[in-house]
A = this chain, B = another copy of it.
C-alpha cells in the first residue's frame, strides 16, 4: 500500500480510540458511591459490553428492526441491573447510566495522533456507536473528527459490508482509498473483504489486565502501528 493513495482514515472507536472499560468502570463507581450502591463494577462493565454483540446480532439477523446502539445499550442495561439485583433506580438515573458510553476517555496517544493524521487525511469514526453517541464522545474527549460516519448511517452494523461501504460512498472515494483502523482483527478483515485498506493498532489494555489479547497481527494488514502517533509516522505525516 502506498500511503499517498489513502485519502481517509476511518476508525473503530470502542477500544481503539477510547478506553471504554476503564471509563465505564470509573463512572459506575462514582455513580454507585453517590447512591450507596455496591456492586462488582468491573464485572458490571464487562457484562454490559458482553451483551452488546447478541443484541447487535438480533438487528443483523432481522430479529429486531434497526435499533441504534444507545437503545441497545439501554435494553442491555435493564437486563444487567436485574441480573446484578440493583433495584430502585429512576428512569432518569438509568438514562444517566446509559450516557456513560458517551463519556469515554481517549487513550493518551489518541488526540495528538488524530491531530497529526488530520493534517493529511479525512478522519472519521466508523463505529457501531450511533451519531449522537460519537458526537457527544467527540466533544467530551476533544476528538477532532472531520465528520461522523458509522453503522447508523448505513442501518447496518459492522461487520456487514454495507456498514463500511456506506462510509466509502459518503466520502465519494474508492474502497482502496480508505484505511480502516482498529484494534480488532476481525473488524479489519471484514473491511478488507469489502475492499478497504486495514491498519492494526493493538490496544493490549482494552479488556483490563486479566485478559490476554491476541498479539500476532495478520500479515495481510496494510499497516501495523504501536499507537496513533506511530501510525501517523508510518503513513508519512
A residues within 8 Å of B by Cβ?
Answer: 70, 118, 122, 124, 130-132, 134-136, 138-139, 145-149, 152-153, 170-172
Contact = CB atoms under 8 A, between A and B. Distances in A.
A221 to B, nearest CB: 26
Contacts of A148: 147-148
Given A130-B170, A132-B171, 10 more contacts: A130-B172, A131-B147, A132-B172, A135-B171, A138-B147, A139-B146, A147-B147, A147-B148, A148-B148, A153-B153
Nearest to A144: B144
Contacts of A118: 139
A196 to B, nearest CB: 16
A139 B122 contact: yes
B131 A70 contact: no
B146 A170 contact: no
A132 B70 contact: no
B146 A138 contact: yes
Contacts of A132: 170-172
Contact of A152 (B122, B130, B138, B170): B170
23 contacts: A70-B172, A118-B139, A122-B135, A122-B136, A122-B139, A130-B172, A131-B147, A131-B170, A131-B171, A132-B170, A132-B171, A132-B172, A134-B147, A135-B146, A135-B171, A138-B146, A138-B147, A139-B146, A145-B147, A147-B148, A148-B148, A152-B170, A153-B153
A148 B149 CA distance: 9
Closest 3 CB pairs of A and B: A147-B148, A131-B170, A135-B147
Contacts of A135: 122, 124, 146-147, 171
A132 B173 CA distance: 9
A99 B114 CA distance: 25
A122 B138 CA distance: 11
A77 to B, nearest CB: 16
Contacts of A124: 135
Nearest to A68: B172
Contacts of A147: 131, 134-135, 138, 145, 147-148
